[in-house]
């Protein structure tokens, strides 16, 4: 590992717009009268319901158990009664099952897990089981079960742990504030994860537009025996494969995973959730989320419980000063546009973003002018323009041969295209069509 980070191929430099909320300390959202907890909050199998309408629950009570190894349990965000097993709009626009909890106002904990104070001398398998039992997932956006990442299959030797604190997505500052305000827990989480993986140390990668967070982490890192690597600002620096290359110089081949090059990457928010689970005995029922955008009165960073409606998040940010053009979950490059305010905060909801009318440029899908900008900025070295034309002609077999499945959907190509072609949307469609074809084949 070099002291000087490497620059990955491609990337873009959009206006980061982080000044709206980077200076705002994390605020704990007030207790609500009810929460609608979406059941399936992880990549993999959905959890299996263990409560029914009318059941009394406490804060931290088990609502649903893991539905398999690639699955995590779900816990109640407060004490109260299960009002209904209902449906709410999901982040992709499809209605999804949820558990509605009517709060009793007491916010009383069920006996939490027993804290593991002496984690340094605890069997790594026990620590990993706690991460699973607490329902921790990748909180940078993917929602991949954390315990699965910490379980390399036989034959895969892990020698490097990286905590992802790049937070390269414009507007988002939740991880920044977390690293600044809970620097000790981020470093401690890195050390606990290293213990689970059988490593002596880990490295925390942070883009150098967050000097205050880097300074705070370096002070904490010494105490916990981990290191901090400042990284150049270059979107998508926080993508797993690009982060691994920047810090280690290793390239993850197409179709392979970080484990195939000896690396494990976890988000800094996941690391603090692991500290809460191990050291404090608390399940994953809340997360820090940035609520931001020019149309908002008071952008900031809030600690929300899962099941909090997006409408409540916008109210806490003071409401709007103008009618926004779009509402996104996540940032402007990779976020998902929403059509409802009834979507609720999940474990991987990193941001709620309102885009102003004057910030939106509509895709016009004009003919490709062969400028090559999309090829130059693509961090995965694929051919966006050619793949896009294949998709327009419904030649998904051609798109697959051109490695569309390697696309990380960062949106750099769409951002840089002077013809305003919906490149990223084409690639998302191609992936869906290819996967549907594979399912038909059995």
CA angle at 237 for the pair 384 and 179, rounded to the nearest 5°: 150
pLDDT tops 80 at residue 3: no
Q: What is the pLDDT of residues 271-320, one digit of tens each?
A: 999 999 999 999 999 999 999 999 999 999 999 999 999 999 999 999 99
User: Would you say residue 80 has pLDDT above 90?
Assistant: yes
Would you call 239 helix, strand, or coil by DSSP? coil
For the segment 369-388, the average pLDDT, to the nearest whole number, is 96
The answer to whether the CB of 139 falls within 8 A of the CB of 43 is: no
Indicate if the pLDDT at residue 2 is higher than 80.
no
Per residue in 12-22, pLDDT tens? 999 999 999 99
Confidence band of 100 (pLDDT split at 50, 70, 90): very high
Asked if 412 and 377 count as a contact pair (C-beta separation under 8 A), the reply is: yes
Residue 140 scores a pLDDT above 90: no
Overall average pLDDT of the 185-207 stretch: 97
Q: What is the mean pLDDT of residues 110-136?
A: 96
Each residue's pLDDT tens digit, 285-297: 999 999 999 999 9
pLDDT of residue 333: 95
The arithmetic mean of pLDDT across residues 411-437, rounded, is 94
pLDDT band, residue 411 (cuts 50/70/90): very high
Q: Is a pLDDT exceeding 60 seen at residue 397? A: yes
Residue 141 confidence class, pLDDT cut points 50, 70, 90: confident
**CB neighbours of residue 125 within 10 Å:** 10
pLDDT above 70: residue 1: no
Q: How many CB atoms lie within 10 A of CB 387?
A: 27
Rounded Cα distance between 384 and 178, Å, is 35
Average pLDDT over residues 77-101: 95
Does domain 1-28+115-360 bear CATH number 3.40.50.11540? yes
| pLDDT of residue 361 exceeding 80 | no
61-65 mean pLDDT: 97
Distance CA 26, CA 287 (A): 10
pLDDT-derived band at 31 (thresholds 50, 70, 90) equals: very high
Q: Which of 358, 352, 360 is nearest to 299 (CA)?
A: 352
CB distance 13 to 234 below 8 Å:
yes
Please name the residue that has the structure tokens 């349990």. Answer: 73
- pLDDT band, very low/low/confident/very high, at 331 (cuts 50, 70, 90): very high
- 335-344 pLDDT tens trace: 999 999 999 9
DSSP state of 247: H
Rounded average pLDDT over 398-414: 95
pLDDT of 204: 98
Residue 408 buriedness (CB in 10 A; 0-12 / 13-18 / 19+)? middle
Asked whether residue 179 carries a pLDDT value surpassing 80, the answer given is yes
- 């949307």: which residue's tokens? 425
Q: Note whether 267 and 285 are within 8 A (CB).
A: no
Sequence ranges of the domains in the chain: 1-28+115-360, 373-441
Which residue is it, tokens 């909320």?
A: 21
pLDDT band at 6 (very low <50, low <70, confident <90, very high): confident
Cβ density class 98-112: b for 16+ within 10 Å, e for less: bbbbebeeeeeeeeb
The pairing of beta strand 80-89 with beta strand 95-103: antiparallel
Lowest mean pLDDT among 67-71, 90-94, 292-296, 326-330: 90-94
């Amino acid at each position: 590992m070099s002291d000087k980070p490497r620059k990955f191929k491609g990337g873009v430099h959009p206006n980061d717009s982080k000044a709206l909320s980077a200076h705002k300390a994390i605020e704990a959202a007030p207790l609500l009268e009810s929460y609608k907890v979406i059941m399936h909050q992880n990549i993999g199998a959905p959890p299996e319901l263990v409560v029914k309408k009318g059941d009394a629950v406490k804060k931290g009570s088990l609502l649903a158990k893991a539905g398999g190894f690639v699955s995590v349990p779900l816990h109640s965000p407060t004490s109260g009664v299960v009002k209904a097993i209902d449906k709410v709009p999901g982040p992709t626009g499809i209605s999804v099952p949820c558990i509605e909890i009517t709060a009793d106002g007491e916010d009383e904990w069920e006996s939490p897990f027993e804290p593991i104070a002496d984690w340094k001398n605890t069997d790594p398998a026990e620590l990993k089981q706690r991460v699973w039992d607490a329902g921790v997932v990748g909180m940078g956006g993917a929602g991949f079960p954390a315990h699965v990442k910490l379980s390399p299959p036989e034959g895969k030797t892990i020698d490097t742990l990286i905590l992802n604190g790049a937070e390269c997505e414009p507007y988002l500052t939740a991880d920044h504030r977390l690293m600044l305000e809970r620097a000790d827990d981020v470093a401690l989480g890195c050390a606990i994860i290293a213990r689970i993986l059988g490593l002596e140390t880990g490295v925390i990668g942070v883009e150098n537009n967050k000097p205050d967070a880097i300074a705070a982490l370096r002070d904490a890192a010494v105490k916990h025996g981990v290191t901090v690597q400042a990284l150049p600002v270059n979107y998508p620096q926080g993508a797993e494969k690009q982060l691994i290359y920047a810090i280690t110089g290793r390239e993850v081949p197409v179709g392979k995973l970080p484990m195939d090059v000896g690396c494990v990457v976890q988000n800094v928010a996941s690391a603090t959730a692991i500290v809460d689970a191990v050291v404090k005995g608390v399940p994953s029922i809340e997360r820090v989320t940035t609520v931001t955008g020019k149309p908002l009165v008071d952008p900031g960073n809030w600690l929300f419980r899962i099941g909090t409606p997006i409408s409540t998040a916008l109210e806490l940010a003071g409401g709007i000063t103008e009618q926004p053009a779009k509402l996104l979950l996540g940032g402007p490059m990779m976020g998902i546009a929403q059509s409802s305010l009834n979507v609720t905060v999940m474990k991987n909801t990193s941001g709620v973003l309102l885009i102003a009318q004057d910030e939106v440029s509509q895709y016009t899908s004009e003919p490709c002018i062969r400028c090559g900008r999309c090829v130059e900025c693509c961090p995965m070295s694929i051919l966006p323009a050619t793949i896009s034309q294949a998709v327009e002609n419904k030649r998904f077999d051609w798109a697959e041969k051109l490695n569309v499945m390697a696309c990380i959907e960062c949106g750099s190509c769409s951002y840089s295209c002077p013809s305003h072609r919906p490149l990223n949307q084409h690639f998302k469609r191609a992936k869906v069509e290819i996967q549907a074809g594979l399912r038909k084949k059995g």
